[in-house]
Chain A
């Protein structure tokens, strides 16, 4: 696997006004994420997870500090070039799927390609390939309301990958899914990381999801509290536990 840096953040700070109160969402975040990593960002409510996601994804600009995506500094970019960066270098997967309801699955996936300047893919062909890859070959002409939650999220993942971006960001991608669907989606994301060498960064508060990542960054009060890689043994242990739960050998603790 190549090791170039896909996300480079240095002393990122973000402040905003909440009513009349100034809130420091991020207090100086510095991190590097390399190509092909499977990273989870976790933290309690108000820790700055979504804010960090927004800055990495080019959806917002930092108050200070720098952020570079695939070698391109986006810290002070205007909206127009930032939009192009989002189109070509970043794929997004959201908790609420955020598919366009009036478009079919095929059209949703083809959409980012149609607005790409590089035109490296044929939109329809690429969309079909991705949907087939995610097991939705027979659902291409279905609208989102005709798909289950898991299917919708897989369509969203396919859309996020349509321009083959180096970075895929997920904001609580399994938040609205049941356990089985969550597993399907996580498997899909793993597949993406493994086969396409795409860097996957997930924001989550679900420990189950967090346990499946290779590297877990914990945010507390706008700062990185921990940044720990997971060992292979740890991941295997978690995988075994999950299998037992799926077969009913081990019931998940409720509440």
Chain B
């Protein structure tokens, strides 16, 4: 027994040693997958370390608290706090929508202090707070005091800055904020006009320490005393997202008094306890006493971080496992070639008395050794890889990560790598046992052995069970769930394999060679190795599909947003409070350079009087609900709700229908627009408005798409009469009746209007009617935007949002959230490339004779290499077409459902990804085929 084991091990080891090239690429297939697991798991540990490192420092205290928006049930409670003087409120308006922002009143600080002094924590707690002059909303719209820094000397501006007005003597309670020069915050913020700015701001406006800057709304200039790295000041990039995206500055709390027209918003409180172990107790007491606080203790943070790290770890491990499974295709291919090349040896072994199962164990030992060595190499590569992606991860999480070599990822990677390599190497080794001993006498009659069907199915089942066990260990849950997921994945992979096999067969047979010999030979070679080609393609498709789906969706969302925003008719949206202010804004825009055009949209509320349909039936606001009921609209499908949920929705159907018809037809918000050019909205019914419609005898109306309106049977030419409501003084309203003719129904939300989507020509509104909201869409050159902002700041109650802000915000958010998955998907593509390199190495090894003959009859090395590259380039193209194609189909479906033209689909990016796939395939092929194409023909023909 021992001697047999020794034979298996020494024989396998020797064979791997002798067949260096075969072994190298097989090892690389496993190593790539294991490296992905090790590097991603190590990274998640490093993230966990960083998050765990100093929770107090992250939380800026033992307990942190901020004032959250009230729920419906809490409104009364908040009102009580406002009445008691604890809370202050501020009404904000945004394109006709109003809301209330809560912050602590100055007196509330005293109340809070008094409570602390009288509580069980008296003398045990101190607290500090931030007092910014701008809110997150101000930062978002780039308006409001304290959001823009201008360099006095150069005029360079940095808008949309978050501000931290702190007590530098104590803030932060834990940790330190130091400038890039190493100075403490307390040392550099000595005067109210001292500030430090974020490094991301300093880069944008090229400002240095000592420069004088202006902050909008402040009565004095400030002096930059230091530059702070973003990770020093921003502890939670997800909570302080604007600071990370657009930049920030830190000033002493006293600086708030320099902003004359605003009151600082007292929010974000930090509590330090003499006994941090009582943090949870304090948090509970604080929340109970002051129900408006949303609190976070270090323990809360720990739990949140642990959950986050766990999710990152699971995602990393799953993605690493997928990469390893992709790499296992390389193992299968390698073992198949090993078995084929050693058929005669197997026959000899069987001749001298080795049983079939012993042959299987022999080759399985080889797969096992490949797994061990490959995993060991993978661990080293993984640790090295962690360095490579550490920088990218630090940029994503805006924090410094400390590298460490942890045993757990290495052990996980090693164990999983060995198991996967052995299990996946099992099937080819079963085939080895089927070699007929008789070929020892007639080697030329030897055919590639295959395992029996039952054996094959049994091994596949074993593989699925093993992978399911691994998945269950990683992800938790039941074995059955893991089995379903893994089984489903294998089934999908199997179907894809068959599809790829068929595609290769079709391309090999049908694709014309255009008279080119090289192409003909390449296609024939591809056809001759369909199985291996399909498995190689499978690896490539999985890798490129992951990467392309993430990338294309991010691009498509960007494009959709741009499409919607550009469809609004400008790059700046200006909200105006009154018609008198509108006149000022119009005068400003008319007289300013760089304003290419502008459109005024007046929002009105209208109430239905009656609707006369094409058959002469008349419905009123009172009779319409009953009519809707009688239609028995097939409600769920109209809203995309599956039939199986019908019962649940049936109960609420009536109520929801009435709500919808009420808000989209009976009481509708419309925008009155100056129609200066023909609308280009996608119309479901009828047509869009044209300039000549301004003078129509009966004004026209275009409705926004709505399933209920469509089910009503509203059609072009119908007449609808509305009361146009005006809000007057002292809360009184008036209305005037206007009859419209239905021009059409516009698809989805892409229309001339940015707001409601239902619109009418401006001339249709009676002169006496007052708009509920006023918006101006202006198209302004980028150079003039800062000027426009400054001028608008002089007109009270107006503010402007550049549509580019949303694009930038969404782009940054998308970039942040897709960076990590993209990184992981890119790893999958790299592993796919390794599998290709492995396949090409195996193919050239098997085709040495053929290559030698080609060279013997006169083909140059470059031409031989070119044929191999052409073959793999075609495979790469097919892989790219399918992998990117699937992602593209998903994006097209998304675009169409959003009612967006196909222009939004990132065709160029998709093409680029396809070419990347071809590039990966060719590059991988070169690494293997270069030396093979250079071998001397005589060497091969003599000794093969």
A-side residues, CB < 8 A to B, are 50, 53-54, 57, 59-60, 79-80, 83-84, 86-88, 92, 94, 96, 98, 100-103, 107, 111-112, 114-116, 123, 159, 163, 171
Contacts and interface: CB of A to CB of B under 8 A. Distances in A.
Given A83-B355, A92-B352, A111 B438 contact: no
Contact of A54 (B354, B355, B438): B438
Contacts of A114: 3-4, 7
Interface stretch (B343-351, B722-730, B783-791): B343-351
B353 A116 contact: yes
A115 B352 contact: yes
Interface string B1-44: 00110010001001100100000000000000000000000000
B15 A87 contact: no
A86 B11 contact: no
Interface string B429-442: 00000001110111
18 contacts: A50-B441, A54-B438, A59-B351, A59-B438, A59-B441, A80-B355, A83-B355, A83-B356, A86-B350, A86-B353, A86-B437, A87-B353, A94-B441, A98-B345, A100-B348, A102-B14, A115-B4, A115-B352
Given A102-B11, A102-B14, A123-B3, A60 B353 contact: no
A112 B3 CA distance: 12
A116 B354 CA distance: 9
B400 interface: no
B117 to A, nearest CB: 85
A237 B14 CA distance: 49
A66 B355 CA distance: 23
Nearest to A95: B441
Given A50-B442, A59-B438, A115-B4, A100 B11 contact: yes
A115 B4 CA distance: 7
Nearest to B433: A79
Contacts of B18: 101-102
Nearest to B443: A96
Contacts of B443: 96
Name the residue in B351, B356, B436 with the highest tally of chain A Cβ atoms < 10 Å from its Cβ: B351
Contacts of B356: 79-80, 83
Nearest to B17: A102
Interface in B323-364: 344-345, 348-356, 358
B345 A112 contact: no
Nearest to A99: B348
Nearest to A123: B3
A96 B3 CA distance: 27
Nearest to B351: A92
B348 A98 contact: yes
Contact of B353 (A50, A96, A107, A112): A112
A54 B441 contact: yes
Nearest to B352: A112
Contact of B15 (A94, A102, A116): A102
A42 B349 CA distance: 27
A94 B352 contact: no
Name the residue in B4, B353, B438 with the highest tally of chain A Cβ atoms < 10 Å from its Cβ: B353
A94 B353 contact: no
B441 A115 contact: no
Contacts of A92: 351-352, 440
B438 A100 contact: no
Nearest to A53: B441
B455 to A, nearest CB: 14
B11 A83 contact: no
A181 to B, nearest CB: 20
A83 B350 contact: yes
A86 B345 CA distance: 16
A106 to B, nearest CB: 12
B440 A98 contact: yes
Given A59-B437, A59-B441, A88-B353, A103 B11 contact: yes
Contact of A111 (B7, B436, B437): B7
Given A53-B441, A86-B437, 16 more contacts: A54-B438, A59-B437, A59-B440, A59-B441, A60-B438, A79-B356, A87-B352, A92-B352, A94-B441, A96-B443, A100-B345, A101-B18, A102-B18, A107-B7, A114-B4, A163-B353
B354 A115 contact: yes
A111 B348 CA distance: 11
10 tightest A-B contacts by CB? A87-B353, A102-B14, A112-B352, A59-B438, A98-B348, A60-B438, A115-B353, A59-B437, A50-B441, A112-B353
A86 B351 CA distance: 6
A103 B14 CA distance: 8
Contacts of B4: 114-115
A94 B440 contact: yes
Contact of A171 (B14, B353, B441): B441
A116 B4 CA distance: 11
Contacts of A54: 438, 441
A96 B437 CA distance: 15
A123 B352 CA distance: 14
